[in-house]
Every structure is written in structure tokens, then in C-alpha cells.
Amino acid sequence: MSRMIPDYREVSTTAAATELEWSRAAGLVLPILNDLVTLSRFRWDTLVYSQNRVGYTMPQLGPLQWQLTWVANFTADRNHEVWANFSIKALE
């Protein structure tokens, strides 16, 4: 018989984006998503992760629609766990 251990979590989320995020019009794209999570199972560790993009939607050329974006995401935690700290930067 296995023993069940409860896992309590607290979550806080913020999000922001420009109107052009879902638009076909040319212009700046700037979505930002931030989350804060506390996990009881990992010694009440608190993680923060942020997903950020900045880019530009190019004017439509016939059927061609495209965006040029730079991505910068990171995750960090209070207990400095190896698996919970990383960053990603990329051009999409």
C-alpha cells in the first residue's frame, strides 16, 4: 500500500500583450507572461518564471505573413535547485 503525500501549491500569474499580438496588422509585438509558484513537496520552494517576446509583425506581402521575434525566458527558484534555474534566449 502506497502512502499519499499532499502537495500544496500557491500560484500567481500576470500577463501583458500589445493589441498587435493577435492582429494581422504590421507593428510591435510585446507579450510578457510571469508566474510565481510555491510548491510544498519541494521544501516549500518558490519558483518564478518569465516568458518574454519582443518582435515586429511585418507588412503582409500577398499571402506571406510573418513576424521577427526575440525570445528571452528564465526560471529561478528560492532554494537554488539545479533543475529549477535556467534561461533561454533565441531569435525566432
Query: Collapsing DSSP states into helix, strand and coil, what is residue 60?
Result: coil
Confidence band of 23 (pLDDT split at 50, 70, 90):
low
Give the DSSP H/E element, type plus range, for residue 87.
strand 86-91
The gap from C-alpha 52 to its chain's centroid, in whole angstroms, comes to: 6
Residues 6+ apart with CB under 8 A from 25: 57
pLDDT at residue 74 greater than cutoff 90: yes
pLDDT computed for residue 18 by the predictor: 64
pLDDT in tens, 24-41: 678 888 888 899 999 888
Of the candidates 7, 21, 16, the one whose C-alpha atom is nearest the C-alpha of residue 57 is 21
Round to the nearest angstrom and report the end-to-end CA distance of the chain: 49
Cell 499580438 found at: 21
* Mean pLDDT score, 53-58: 87
